[in-house]
Amino acid sequence: MNPSAKIFSGTASKYLAENIAAKFGVPLGQSITQKFSDGEIQPMFQESIRGDIVFLIQSTFSPADNILELLLMIDAAKRASAYKVIPVIPYYGYARQDRKDKPRVAIGSKLIANMLEAAGADRVITMDLHAAQIQGYFDIPVDHLESSSIFIPYIESLKLENLTFAAPDVGSANRIREIASYFEAEMVICDKHRKRANEIASMVVIGDVTNRDVVLIDDICDTGGTLVKSAALLKEKGARSVRALITHPVLSGKAYDNINNSVLEELVVCDTIPLKQESPKIKVLSVSDLFAVALRNAFENKSITSLFIHSQRRDK
């Protein structure tokens, strides 16, 4: 048996799925999601998928209907006798709930993993999880792509003279260290203390940024508070310029105002989540090429190692 590859999209990520399918080399599969008057949803495939490898593209950002729609699509594909069902989740929602950091709270990212497996997923392809160890919540293969393969060429194109990388918090240090090592550049850390979610009490810079062109890198920008405060502090400490590269533009609340009124030169994001509005300071880089290659390699049972930063080391 030689299964075919078919790519479908949930309603939230059709803009991205169309580009991925085009670069993969197949038309986007035909499906619809009916919505009843009480809000109940029912996805439906409009073509046969019997014996096929089915990729279902859907980022699970708010509202929660996006997660439920993906789960229902997985279930529908299994019941339609798909050979394999692979959810492709560019932005994996609830990833920030990766541990019990307070009494009597859920571990949301583990629950989402359980639901994806219970629905019938055979493997998962995702990108820049808030915590890499979330892969361990799954008992099926997880291909965890990194935005570094998109950001590195962009940073190189800027030709910054005194390049320094900054982690907006201690938790991002490992991610930044690897990219800084690639460029043989220095790195600093903005150590923050929170009073509560989305509210920073204090922040200090660990390292010297005097006359440096600083690039902040992180996986998520929510309200923009951390980025704005980090950028202002870095400028205060003598940075010549500060820009930020963020994978997932959640951008909730007053995020757009925060970014537009900040000292950031620019905020570069990926299209794992669609922007709610345009901004002169926000530039979007597409993940469609990266995911198209990852899907092709998964379909052909090939390695995806070439997509990672350690396979892109510059000649010394």
Give residue-wise pLDDT tens across range 242-289.
999 999 999 999 999 999 999 999 999 999 999 999 999 999 999 999
Q: What is the pLDDT of residue 172?
A: 80
The reply to whether 316 falls in a domain is no
Averaged over 195-208, what is the pLDDT? 71
**Partner residues linked to 196 by β-bridges:** 199
CATH for 236: 3.40.50.2020
The answer to whether 12 and 66 are in contact (CB under 8 A) is yes
* 245 in the same domain as 184: yes
The answer to whether 298 and 304 are in contact (CB under 8 A) is yes
Q: What is the pLDDT of residue 196?
A: 60
CA 266 → CA 73, 167, 209, distances in Å?
Answer: 37, 16, 18
Percent with pLDDT over 90 in the chain:
84
Q: How far is Cα 278 from Cα 136, in angstroms, rounded to an integer?
A: 37
* 265 in the same domain as 156: yes
Sequential DSSP letters for 205-263: EES--TT-EEEEEEEEESSSHHHHHHHHHHHHTT-SEEEEEEEEE---TTHHHHHHTSS
* 224 in the same domain as 168: yes
Element (H, E) at 167: strand 163-167
Full residue range of the structural domain in which residue 171 is found: 148-286
The reply to whether 261 falls in a domain is yes
The reply to whether 154 falls in a domain is yes
Element (H, E) at 204: strand 199-206
* 87 in the same domain as 62: yes
* 171 in the same domain as 136: no
The residues assigned a catalytic role are 192
Q: What is the pLDDT of residue 81?
A: 98
The reply to whether 132 falls in a domain is yes
* 112 in the same domain as 94: yes
Q: How far is Cα 62 from Cα 161, in angstroms, rounded to an integer?
A: 39
**Partner residues linked to 5 by β-bridges:** 53
* 227 in the same domain as 190: yes
Q: What is the pLDDT of residue 312?
A: 56
| pLDDT higher than 70, residue 205 | yes
Averaged over 156-162, what is the pLDDT? 94
Q: What is the pLDDT of residue 166?
A: 95
Q: What is the pLDDT of residue 169?
A: 81
Q: What is the pLDDT of residue 315?
A: 47
The answer to whether 21 and 28 are in contact (CB under 8 A) is yes
> Starting from the edge strand earliest in sequence, which strands make up the sheet with 163-167, in order?
199-206, 186-196, 163-167, 213-221, 241-249, 267-270, 282-285
Average pLDDT, the chain: 93
| pLDDT higher than 60, residue 201 | no
- Crossing angle (nearest 10°) for helices 173-183 and 148-158: 50
The residue among 260 and 193 whose pLDDT is bigger is 260
The reply to whether 199 falls in a domain is yes
Q: How far is Cα 228 from Cα 255, in angstroms, rounded to an integer?
A: 9
Residue with tokens 């508070």: 225
| pLDDT higher than 90, residue 314 | no
Interval 27-68: pLDDT, tens: 999 999 999 999 999 999 999 999 999 999 999 999 899 999
The reply to whether 153 falls in a domain is yes
**HSE (CB half, 13 Å, CA atoms) of 71?**
16
How many structural domains does the chain have?
Answer: 2
Q: How confident is the model at residue 191 (pLDDT cuts 50, 70, 90)?
A: confident
* 280 in the same domain as 176: yes
* 105 in the same domain as 152: no
Q: How confident is the model at residue 197 (pLDDT cuts 50, 70, 90)?
A: low
Q: How confident is the model at residue 306 (pLDDT cuts 50, 70, 90)?
A: confident
The reply to whether 67 falls in a domain is yes
Amino acid of residue 289:
D
| pLDDT higher than 50, residue 316 | no
* 293 in the same domain as 281: no
* 137 in the same domain as 95: yes
* 250 in the same domain as 240: yes
- Within 8 A by CB and 6+ apart from 224, the residues are 251, 254, 255, 256, 258, 259, 262
How far, rounded to the nearest angstrom, does the alpha carbon of residue 256 sit from its chain's CA centroid? 19
The reply to whether 96 falls in a domain is yes
